[in-house]
Chain A
Amino acid sequence: MRRNFLAMGALVFGLAALMWATASTSAEPKGHDGGHRDSHSAPAHVGSVHYGGRPAPGRVDPPHFAPVTHGTVRSEHYERWGGYHNPYRDDYIRHFRSGYRFFILGDAEYYGYYDLAPDCEPVVIGDITYYLCDGVYYLPYIYGGQTVYLVVPAPG
């Protein structure tokens, strides 16, 4: 009997530990390669006490929403764990070249690069000039004081 109680205690403890471990890993959002996400919370290059000491960008409830021109590839935010789900994960992201960055804006995250691959070609569709590299479309924006090329869905 005593052994049964001990076994039951160990089982419950094991389950609890498993719950804790699962919670920890689920709460940590990861890139598709499981790699480190680019921190835009307060990178050291902010170089300002006033702005560096503020809450992390993108985690503030925005006073209003304003559209990004021409929808970008975004991941939906999982409210519970603070993680993200990207609907393009299986059929588009796999073409991303390495070195992409996460940009957390509003309640979603976006993917982009600080420069384009050398073999990118400008493609004009409608009145918009995209950059096309290895099947992935990009649009440039200025963000944080420099150009970022955000991944956008294939136009049309």
Chain B
Amino acid sequence: MKRLLLVTMAFAALAILFASLAASEPPGGKDGKDGKGDERASAGDKDKDPKNEAKIDPKADKYLKAMSNYLAGLKTYSFQVEEFFDEVQDDGQKIQFNNERQLSVSRPNKVFGENVGDTADSLFYYDGKTAIVYDRKQKTYATEKVPDTIDAMLDDLHDRFDTHQTLADFLFADPYKVLTENVESATHVGLSQVSKVKCHHLAFQQRRLDWQIWIDAGDKPLPRKFLITFKREADEPQYIALFRHWDENPKLTDDLFVFKAPEGVRKVDFLNRHAEPPPVKKGSGK
């Protein structure tokens, strides 16, 4: 009988322990699949440099470096992409949207972007002092003083306003550094064709996402296709960019980077990501 009592008590203790552990688990589960419970783990990994344990295929590294160095060496360049990305619906169904995007860059401090398609009709201006997002569809724009280099401007906009330039990885002064900062593995998949262009197909793994890139195998190691899988997000949505056109020496006038507000558009604020609005009286929303 004693034995039975002990077994029962042990069983009960285990059940309670299990329940307590479940209750103390952060929302989103251990792996932070929804991206919310992930923070803690990420902060804890700060001391752990992924590169220390990274499994890097030297061929993948070589071709990525070649592409990055080539881009870093361009003073002015522009490119057009057709991009596709998934939006996961409430019921788990993935709906794909697509946009046409054009980016023009004059290093070190000018960027112009245009994005037209299913989810946007917007322009982006950066002239070395000010960043402007103009939403053509909604006839609104926001302007903000920003740092005087592309790198600092991109991080500043992201940190303060959660406004990032899509394909920013290809705008930074050192694309290799940005692309490899969290890489845990790199693989040279092989040669592949992207729109009849022979490319080196490379695949990379990071903690939060996997990505692949197809780099022109010819004289100019330009990216021809780029794919990101957000593997920590529910149903693992993807972003795909097909680079349709590269111009490595475009004639970009200063006017291109300066926004002139058309008549009838409304100036609004960027929504601050670290918002803490003034307290409002309960019930005043009636």
Contact = CB atoms under 8 A, between A and B. Distances in A.
B276 to A, nearest CB: 4
* A44, A52, A129, A148: most-surrounded residue (chain B CB, <10 A): A44
A81 B24 CA distance: 9
A82 B234 contact: no
B39 A16 contact: no
Contact of B18 (A20, A70, A154): A20
Interface string A67-94: 1111111100000011100011001100
B197 interface: no
A58 B158 CA distance: 12
B90 A36 contact: yes
B34 A48 contact: no
Given A13-B12, A50-B181, A105 B230 contact: no
B162 A142 contact: no
Contact of B39 (A43, A59, A108, A141): A59
B285 A12 contact: no
Interface of B: 1, 4-5, 8, 11-12, 15-16, 18-20, 22-23, 25-28, 34-39, 42-43, 83, 85-90, 97, 115, 119-120, 122, 124, 133, 135, 137-138, 140-142, 158, 160-169, 172, 178-179, 181-182, 204, 206-209, 211, 228, 230, 232-234, 237-239, 241, 266, 268-280, 282-286
Interface string A129-156: 1000000000111111111101001100
Contacts, number: 276
Q: Which of B23, B182, B238 lies at the interface centre, i.e. has the most chain A CB atoms within 10 A of its CB?
A: B23
12 contacts: A17-B19, A42-B35, A47-B228, A68-B276, A82-B26, A82-B28, A105-B275, A108-B276, A115-B138, A141-B142, A145-B163, A146-B122
A40 B135 CA distance: 20
Output the residue of B27, B168, B238 with the most chain A CB within 10 A.
Answer: B27
Interface string A16-56: 11011011100111000001100111111111111111111
Contact of A92 (B182, B232, B286): B286
B85 A67 contact: no
Choose among B158, B167, B268 the residue with the greatest number of A CB atoms under 10 Å from its CB. Answer: B268
B168 A62 contact: no
A130 B217 CA distance: 54
Contacts of A142: 133, 135, 140-142, 161, 163, 268-271
A87 B179 contact: no
Given A68-B276, A142-B133, 14 more contacts: A12-B16, A16-B18, A41-B35, A42-B232, A45-B119, A45-B239, A47-B241, A49-B206, A53-B181, A62-B273, A68-B271, A68-B275, A145-B164, A147-B137
B18 A91 contact: no
Contacts of A12: 11-12, 15-16
A100 interface: no
B135 A146 contact: yes
B270 A143 contact: yes
A45 to B, nearest CB: 5
A9 B10 CA distance: 9
A39 B206 contact: no
Given A45-B85, A46-B164, A115-B138, A56 B35 contact: yes
Given A66-B274, A68-B271, A71-B278, A56 B39 contact: yes
A60 interface: yes
B102 to A, nearest CB: 14
Contact of A46 (B8, B19, B141, B166): B166
A153 B266 CA distance: 21
A66 to B, nearest CB: 5
B239 A47 contact: yes
Q: 7 tightest A-B contacts by CB?
A: A41-B35, A62-B274, A44-B237, A47-B166, A92-B285, A142-B142, A65-B276
